[in-house]
A and B are shown apart, each in its own frame.
Chain A
Amino acid sequence: MFKGANLFLRSEKFLTFVSIPNRSLWRNARDRFFQNSAATGGLVALFLVVLFALFGPHIAAWNHEDIDWNLLGNVREQGAPSWQNGHYFGVDELGRDLFARTAQGTRISLMVGIVGAFIAVVVGTFYGACAGYVGGRVDGLMMRLVDILMSIPYMFVLILLLVMFGRSMLVLFIGIGLISWLDISRIARGQTLSIKKKEFVEAAAAMGVKPIIIILRHIFPNLMGVVIVYATLLVPSMIIYESFISFLGLGVQEPATSWGVLINDGASQMSYGTLWQLLFPLFFFVVTIFSFVFIGDGLRDALDPKDR
């Protein structure tokens, strides 16, 4: 019987009991994530790429803007990667240091990817959760708006925006941010509809909790599993968007650079035998995209509710 078994209590005893390990669902998921070697590998690789983006420019012997006049005329013969002249990744066709440029490009590409995905997650989740929770006509209106926005060929709009307002990072962010949240809002709405029917949401409503608090306290945390997985898969697609735009020549402005610009330049020089100009940026690009995909996969397995 539970009768006299636990009639003690009060703060001082309580403190000794708090130390009992408690396992939240997040913690279980983390354990599962690290059992997945591909995902862990992806995380390590991504960490290294981020380190490179952060500290690369400081290690580099050259600035990413400066031209090495000694090499300008004969990039093909002398511009290859070498430790002696400080061009670890070689130089580009104008004689600028590729190591510094790749590091700088990595910075911008990662930033575009992460900021774009972040905007998408915040706006999309909130929008979708509100639509799903309120339901009825409001839901119908909000989701039709998403449908309309989705039917616009966004690449076209993005290119128009960049042409009209000039090529700047800000316009690029706004353009990507405008369209990236649409998918996530649909996913969040669908999930919210199923979470809304759970008894703990009804219980909160019966308790007199305000709708906005219910969304933030009960719906959001339970959406996060799905949204995080989607967001990790969104980052690479953001990077690819940006690369594509830059590849077309509408992205970041010289002398700043990004993976798309670098790969474009490298590709155009390929026939001259300066393959390093293509391969170094491409390597970072591919490694990052794969890392995100592996991490996303690992997260999906780790957060899979069926496994609970």
Chain B
Amino acid sequence: MTAGLQIENISVIFRVRRRHAWPWRPPSLLCAVSNISVSLLEGETLGIVGESGSGKSTLAKAIVGIVRTSTGAIVWRGQNLSQMSAHERRASAKDVQMVFQDPLAALNPRMTIGDIIEEPLRTHCPRMKRNERQEHILEMLERVGLHASHINRYPHEFSGGQCQRAAIARALVLKPKLLICDEAVSALDVSVRAQIINLLTSLQRELGLSMIFIAHDLSVVQHVSDRIAVMYLGHLIEEGPSREVVQEPRHPYTQALIESIPSPDPSAGGPRRQKLLRGEIPSPLNPPSGCVFRTRCIIARQACAHEMPPMTPISDQRRVACPYSVEDAL
């Protein structure tokens, strides 16, 4: 397999103007994504986990080009996306598509489902005939489990799950190579969530898609992903094959994430496990010095305040940004 997408040292920095500040005061800088490198093989699924405010959505938006990167390169099949002109960038959007979190908000309320799915075709294949486009739309509707009769309906007439199916149809109608799902199942009911996850994984297999699957729920991410990357406050802190990351997490934050998944077994009450996380994620406008996680880490020590530990390989495929281990420290 070849590397499809390579993200090299990208950072996204927003200039934030404080309210009521004088206009000549320089805006403060918000580093939403700092220096992240990660790569994705063709046909592979990369899961990105993190709390809200961890910069995972910003990373996704940087890849599809809605958000400008400040440094670094996004290389897609040998082409550097971050150096393209706006025009070339739009043309490359044919290959990289995105599904958003809130299914109803992601569909224009004034357009029918048919128009919504047709839009990518109108944008990228302007010469395609009307009935040809119609055929593509019907095929996509069928693929995502919607009814042909839905083509003339409006988004507000559908449930959340059906809207998300329509959004997936829109993302896949151009037969992209890379699909980015940003919290695509987080807003859905549990029973519908399973349907959408199954739909996404089966479509991925059929179409040979590469996928980046972003969620705050590790149990969802590990289910669909081959590899998992964990983000915290704009930094990548652990990366590796999903089974290994879930079974032997190395970073204290990853361990805390796994611990926070509620146990589905009521009889497993017993003694409560060690609490691995305290407090809340700090504001990205004012991140802690040194390791970004140290303010909530139970094994934080003096040295952590000086420098953010770099991502260090610990095995063939795994990297982690913490030199200590929780087991040793406790």
Contacts and interface: CB of A to CB of B under 8 A. Distances in A.
B106 A22 contact: no
Nearest to B60: A206
Nearest to B149: A17
A202 B110 CA distance: 16
A7 B142 contact: yes
Given A203-B106, A209-B119, A18 B151 contact: yes
A55 interface: no
Nearest to A211: B86
A306 interface: no
Interface in A198-228: 198-200, 202-210, 213, 217-218, 221-222
A84 interface: no
B223 to A, nearest CB: 19
Interface residues of B, number: 44
B90 A17 contact: no
B256 interface: no
Interface stretch (A8-16, A36-44, A182-190, A279-287): A8-16
B101 interface: yes
Contacts of A206: 61, 64-66, 93, 97-98
Interface string B75-119: 000000000000001111110011011100111111110000001
A6 B105 contact: no
A204 B108 CA distance: 10
Contact of A200 (B65, B106, B142): B106
Given A203-B170, A217-B108, 16 more contacts: A9-B142, A11-B134, A17-B148, A18-B151, A20-B153, A22-B153, A24-B112, A25-B110, A25-B156, A202-B61, A202-B66, A202-B100, A206-B61, A207-B120, A213-B123, A221-B108
Cβ-closest 8 pairs across A and B: A208-B93, A17-B149, A208-B90, A221-B110, A199-B106, A2-B145, A206-B64, A199-B100
Interface of A: 2, 6-7, 9-11, 13-14, 17-18, 20, 22-26, 198-200, 202-210, 213, 217-218, 221-222, 308
